[in-house]
Amino acid sequence: MRKMSLALLAVVAGSSLAMPAFAQHADHAAAKVDPALAAAVADPLRKDDAARDKYRKPDQTLAFFDVGPAMKVGEYAPGGGWYSRLLGIYLAPKGKLVGLFADASSANAQRQAATQAAVEKFPGEVAEWSKQPADKFTAFQLGAIPEGEKGTFDRILVMRMMHNLLRSNMADSEIKKMRDLLKPDGMVGIEQHRAKPDAPYAYADGSKGYLREADIIKFMEIHGFSFVGKSEANANPKDPANWPEGVWTLPPTFQVKVSDEEKARLTAIGESDRMTLLFRKRP
């Protein structure tokens, strides 16, 4: 199974160097920010998360993804909750946030139990973080989609997770399930560590955290989406995107042990260079 997924990415990677530039798709970095979103970003409840706003640009990112306050939004693999906390504040008054957890049906019993526990905790955690009613939040695994959920989502956000999907050979099946959840005009927003356009396949296969932008665009098109456009809101030209140990060398992870001097240099570079892409469900 892993060979199939990586083989598909290899075909995409092999063809993408010859692909024309996506000039017809304008850069939407300056998307207008909804006042309710601006207020959510500035909410004092986010005081511990706000330090990363200069790197993650949540106002510009969610504005580019055209996430409205009355929408039903799925957040794939919520993880540490950085975006969940903001989305909880923003969506709870008029919309709905749903945690979409990876399909664990083929995993071992321990992994299945851990995933289900995370699903069950998600609504209460976001309610506590955002000080909003718990009934504004739900969650489920993509391997156990509840009756009536398909075709009901306005947006699904995949934040820095495409490399993990490809590494685990789950990208094909998970993206197809996300597509099923979307309304006919629904969209997927992807933020992902960005490899250089000419990065070799061995570096841009997900194992280092970086993927090539053209490869992701082609991958999504193959899986039933039209490319809407891209934003440079999360670009970081200081990132050479060639770290031997991968993106985790940079902040906030600092996974590689380095001297204080080197850590200061990495801090000055900042977080990774990231693509910010938007796709619409194709009929």
pLDDT tens-place string over residues 207-246: 999 999 999 999 999 999 999 999 999 999 999 999 999 9
Asked whether residue 70 is domain-assigned, the answer is yes
| CATH at residue 151 | 3.40.50.150
pLDDT per position as a tens digit, 85-138: 999 999 999 999 999 999 999 889 999 999 999 999 999 999 999 999 999 999
pLDDT for res 79: 83
* Same-domain check for residues 226 and 246: no
Longest dimension (CA), the chain: 55
* Same-domain check for residues 254 and 139: no
* Same-domain check for residues 242 and 129: no
Percentage of the chain beyond pLDDT 70 is 89
* Same-domain check for residues 173 and 52: yes
SS3 155: strand
pLDDT for res 17: 42
pLDDT per position as a tens digit, 127-136: 999 999 999 9
Q: What is the dihedral of CA 6, 76, 87, 217, to 10 degrees?
A: 30
Q: Which amino acid, 32?
A: K
pLDDT for res 22: 39
Asked whether residue 208 is domain-assigned, the answer is yes
Chain-centroid distance of CA 128 in Å reads 23
Calpha distance 257→124 (Å, rounded): 36
Calpha distance 127→106 (Å, rounded): 30
Asked whether residue 281 is domain-assigned, the answer is no
Evaluate if residue 30 carries a pLDDT over 90.
no
Count of C-beta atoms within a 10 Å radius of residue 268: 9
Structure tokens at 215: 């490869």
| Owning domain of residue 174 | 2-235
Q: How many domains does the chain have?
A: 2
Asked whether residue 199 is domain-assigned, the answer is yes
Evaluate if residue 81 carries a pLDDT over 50.
yes
Asked whether residue 282 is domain-assigned, the answer is no
Evaluate if residue 5 carries a pLDDT over 70.
no
* Same-domain check for residues 183 and 70: yes
Asked whether residue 59 is domain-assigned, the answer is yes
Chain-centroid distance of CA 80 in Å reads 13
Chain-centroid distance of CA 196 in Å reads 19
* Same-domain check for residues 203 and 259: no
* Same-domain check for residues 154 and 16: yes
pLDDT for res 122: 97
pLDDT for res 80: 87
The confidence band for 35, taking pLDDT boundaries of 50, 70 and 90, is: very high
Evaluate if residue 7 carries a pLDDT over 60.
no
* Same-domain check for residues 122 and 181: yes
* Same-domain check for residues 62 and 194: yes
* Same-domain check for residues 225 and 245: no
Asked whether residue 243 is domain-assigned, the answer is yes
* Same-domain check for residues 205 and 248: no
Average pLDDT, the chain: 91
Calpha distance 219→190 (Å, rounded): 12
What is the arithmetic mean of pLDDT over 36-40?
A: 97
Q: Where are the alpha helices (DSSP H) in the chain?
A: 2-16, 35-41, 53-56, 58-64, 82-91, 109-130, 162-167, 171-181, 213-222, 260-269
Nearest to 63 by CA among 97, 92, 23, 36: 36
Asked whether residue 283 is domain-assigned, the answer is no
* Same-domain check for residues 42 and 171: yes
